[in-house]
Structure 1
């Protein structure tokens, strides 16, 4: 480990961190352009084959950027896409970005450091940075925006140059260091460990924009919200946000184990989709309507009404059901398509019933700050269930690829073990350990003494 990383781990002061030299190379999870065709003709595109962990060159810092020593990160589905080279190899994103020249050219490399979540310590800032300093503890938003675009000032997600950090840019978070624009930085919640904090920003912020923010469904007290994949990273935050806002979450899951976990999370109504034959991705349009009728009957039996909002990131396997089942005048809000991007639905049920579909993508900085405030207040808990060390990042990503995970899968980067990084233990005690780890089984130790997988 380099001297700067050692200083970070020792809790060094700002002056001490500045006195240490930035290393020329660092350890990172990356893909290599030479491997883009490796899965040709392969049915199982096992991401453990494409993800590499090794040393990569340290990039130069731009004036509006910060170098962050990453203590922990987490796995998101975009890393699965990257590692499968689907739907397109991400090197195409890097090539196009690099053609802009200037500091953008750094991103066009034959290796792509991936990862769109991170929590850590700022160790350098660019010459144009005003509001952050070396030594600050931060979490990182994946929204990489250009503040010189006019649209960005209306909503950071509307700019033509908005990108997903660690997916459409290089130097992502599954590494010992990352380079980010300071417009991505949010103060780390003081009562959370590094791995807990690193599990919130992408999924928590995305769910906040979809449900609470001005650009999403804008749920209110009493709203019934149907949440597909309710024990996934996005779904677990959606359940909490609906509960915190006085709504009624209805969670859909795929197993008895996930039913049990979701009830522990406090979801009002839990539906096992396999019991109703829902969302298998093989339904014809008519079969999808029949599935919607079965689901609608079940929801009305439980709460007496159709849902006001459907939270859908599953995609082709569920979207037609979502459009059918949401009430007249209701909203389907979508941010992704893990089962496929081509959606089919019967438009009669949309237009004749005045329903709406809202597309949503990540969250702007203000939405991230508002979501982070809920975390700091103890109103929103990390969805972390499992933690892996960086050298087992392939296994961690495979868990998400095969949908065998619950909540968020964390990855320790520079942090040598779980449970580190808490700077307000009194607040942590006040909120309560069980409240902060709702997706861990009660029998599992709340703080593992070593960086190995924690079973759910």
Structure 2
């Protein structure tokens, strides 16, 4: 492994150098263990601690299948799916690996008593499997997390509709929180040259998800002038939606949970910000059995005060149960609620009168297809959208990183160094970086 790191640190990116490197028989990876899936039994979700369930184990390196690539991972990041995996909610991810393992000989490799987690990476290609020709050893890359088989006809209009669509590192094994990762070659994209390894690793999942959910024709198809309500606007997903709204000529209405998070939104250029904790909205009673429509109305009134009397065209939804009733209510007549994830609960409730009688639309969105992920990555590479990295951990502290995300004790994205020995490495185009430095760093140390 040291030989691989030395080659990467040297700056040499020739195919010959990396083709001649030997790859180790095993490597270190962040895993959850199958024999621990019941470890949190009896605890409430909020009391389940990723620091107890995430381990660094030495694991064997599997053979590459056709169409795959082996990547030396310099950095990765923590997404909420890593939190779900680590607390074994809503289900254990080992069920995903078992079902995948039954589909083919190559997929059997994924059905293991451990699950290597992580759905982001930046690094360098080391090897490619049979049939790969667009990617070569030595190329710097990032990876999006859509793993798709594309044998079924349904996947060939929009790969997210493929019945064999899975999220790498969550519904598959060999994820990005490791020294080495295995991805399909059609997950790879060029690393932004002006970013460090940890910065480049942080946008992948959330940036692509926000792009499809807000910009793509498969999501809300945001247009110039739209008013967009963004829940958790300074968080991992919302921070990219806020930037995209601003870059696309829309007006974001940023919903946050602290003055510090409100200030981050203003640093991004947003002017309309609501601190939901300061306003103390109580959309539900204390035991979450009944919603309070009067609070929806108070919330809508506060939004109209910010927007000069206008309701919002789009609601960018991801909290789920806690906020969904309010989201449906405050959307304008004919407007769109676009939803992915459900970090506060999957069983959404809303008053259908406000949807059906006002011709509103609920649009579901899940990650992104390769084209959408590529376009989202292009926005990063061109400096139109910035990474929102706030803090970086070493791989040995990944449990704490996941704990912070679980407790919402973070801003933007939380990065993890894998092979990279320290922060700040990996920039190959400092000229492009120089005018963007302040924007790249605006989430750090907040």
Please give the TM-score of this superposition, normalised by the length of structure 2. 0.96
In 1, Cα distance between equivalents of 2:105 and 2:209? 30
In 2, Cα distance between equivalents of 1:258 and 1:282? 26
Q: Number of paired residues? A: 441
2:307 is equivalent to residue 306 of structure 1: no
* Equivalent in the alignment of 1:289: 293
How far off its partner does 1:138 sit? 0.8
Q: Residues 103-252 of structure 1 correspond to what in structure 2 (within 5 A)? A: 103-252=106-255
Cα distance change of structure 1 residues 367 and 288 upon mapping to structure 2, 3 Å threshold: farther
State the secondary structure of the residue aligned to 2:65.
Answer: coil
Cα distance change of structure 1 residues 282 and 11 upon mapping to structure 2, 3 Å threshold: farther
In 1, Cα distance between equivalents of 2:321 and 2:307? 26
In 2, Cα distance between equivalents of 1:171 and 1:251? 36
How far off its partner does 1:132 sit? 0.8
* Equivalent in the alignment of 1:336: 341
2:22 is equivalent to residue 21 of structure 1: yes
1:269-300: CA deviation from partner (whole Å, max 9, x where unpaired): 11011233336654778744222211111111
In 2, Cα distance between equivalents of 1:310 and 1:244? 17
How far off its partner does 1:32 sit? 0.6
The question of whether the paired residues in 2 share the 8 Å contact of 1:226 and 1:310 is answered with yes
1:321-343: CA deviation from partner (whole Å, max 9, x where unpaired): 00000000000001110000000
* Equivalent in the alignment of 1:273: 276
Stretches of structure 1 that go unaligned for 5 or more consecutive residues are 441-454
How far off its partner does 1:260 sit? 1.5
Match of 2:438 among 434, 438, 441: 434
The question of whether the paired residues in 1 share the 8 Å contact of 2:283 and 2:293 is answered with no
Judge which range, 282-291 or 125-134, deviates more: 282-291
* Equivalent in the alignment of 1:446: none
The question of whether the paired residues in 1 share the 8 Å contact of 2:215 and 2:222 is answered with yes
Q: Residues 40-79 of structure 1 correspond to what in structure 2 (within 5 A)? A: 40-43=41-44, 44-79=47-82
State the secondary structure of the residue aligned to 1:329.
Answer: strand
2:401 is equivalent to residue 396 of structure 1: yes
1:17-75: CA deviation from partner (whole Å, max 9, x where unpaired): 11111111011100110111111122311110000012111111011000011111000
In 2, Cα distance between equivalents of 1:219 and 1:285? 34
State the secondary structure of the residue aligned to 1:102.
Answer: coil
* Equivalent in the alignment of 1:345: 350
Cα distance change of structure 1 residues 353 and 368 upon mapping to structure 2, 3 Å threshold: same
How far off its partner does 1:150 sit? 1.6
State the secondary structure of the residue aligned to 2:100.
Answer: helix
In 2, Cα distance between equivalents of 1:28 and 1:281? 41
Structure 1 runs, 4 residues or longer, greater than 3 Å off: 279-288
Match of 1:258 among 254, 258, 261: 261
* Equivalent in the alignment of 1:10: 10
In 2, Cα distance between equivalents of 1:38 and 1:338? 21
* Equivalent in the alignment of 1:382: 387
Stretches of structure 2 that go unaligned for 5 or more consecutive residues are none
1:284-323: CA deviation from partner (whole Å, max 9, x where unpaired): 7874422221111111111120000000100100000000
1:400-436: CA deviation from partner (whole Å, max 9, x where unpaired): 011101100000111111111111111111x321022
Match of 1:405 among 389, 404, 410: 410
What RMSD in Å do the two structures reach over aligned CA positions? 1.4
How far off its partner does 1:8 sit? 2.5
* Equivalent in the alignment of 1:452: none
* Equivalent in the alignment of 1:372: 377
Match of 1:354 among 359, 370, 373: 359
In 1, Cα distance between equivalents of 2:173 and 2:235? 26
State the secondary structure of the residue aligned to 1:328.
Answer: strand
In 2, Cα distance between equivalents of 1:368 and 1:214? 14
In 2, Cα distance between equivalents of 1:281 and 1:409? 30
In 2, Cα distance between equivalents of 1:206 and 1:267? 20
Please give the TM-score of this superposition, normalised by the length of structure 1. 0.94
In 2, Cα distance between equivalents of 1:278 and 1:229? 14
Cα distance change of structure 1 residues 219 and 249 upon mapping to structure 2, 3 Å threshold: same
* Equivalent in the alignment of 2:38: 37
The question of whether the paired residues in 2 share the 8 Å contact of 1:285 and 1:344 is answered with no
2:423 is equivalent to residue 418 of structure 1: yes
* Equivalent in the alignment of 1:443: none
